[in-house]
Amino acid sequence: MKFRPRPHTEPEINLIPFIDVLLVILIFLMLTTTYSKFTEMQLTLPVANADAQRDRPREIVVAVSSDGRYMVAREPLAGRSVDEVAAALRRAASASGQGSVVIISADAQVSHQSVITVMEAARREGLAQLTFAAQSGAK
């Protein structure tokens, strides 16, 4: 018996159901994904307690006036350079001991560069703990 050869046909792959399934998965993932903010700035603001005055010998307060003059630990500085501010921070840190916290109390109208100068001087002296003083909005 002689059989006729069957015609050889290429199998077809239908992609439409595959695309439908992928779209459903994509929509599911988009709806169930949570997004986190990684650009949040975390600040430690000082808290004032009017009832009791606490002794804080390890704080170095740097005041910056609106015209760019500096006071470190209530001593005015003659110059305005990073080196002079760093030298004053070094003297104040040696008097207050290791682990000092630098509190920058700047006028609201002071230039941004004046505050950056204090931060750079603190970095040079190895004072890594910085905080900013601020008034509350309620009067």
Question: Rounded to two decimals, what is the model's pTM?
Answer: 0.56
**pLDDT, tens digit (0-9, with 9 covering 90-100), for 46-79:** 555 554 445 556 888 899 988 888 999 888 998 8
> In sequence order, what are the beta bridge partners of 76?
71
Residue with the two structure tokens 């459903």: 24
Confidence (pLDDT) at 39: 47
Low-confidence ranges of the chain (pLDDT < 70): 1, 35-57, 97, 136-139
pLDDT given for residue 47 in this prediction: 59
H-helix or E-strand containing 76? strand 75-76
Structural contact between residues 97 and 58, judged by C-beta atoms closer than 8 angstroms: yes
Domains and CATH numbers, the chain: 59-132 (3.30.420.270)
At 94 the three-state DSSP class reads helix
> Could you tell me the two tokens for 62?
């740097």
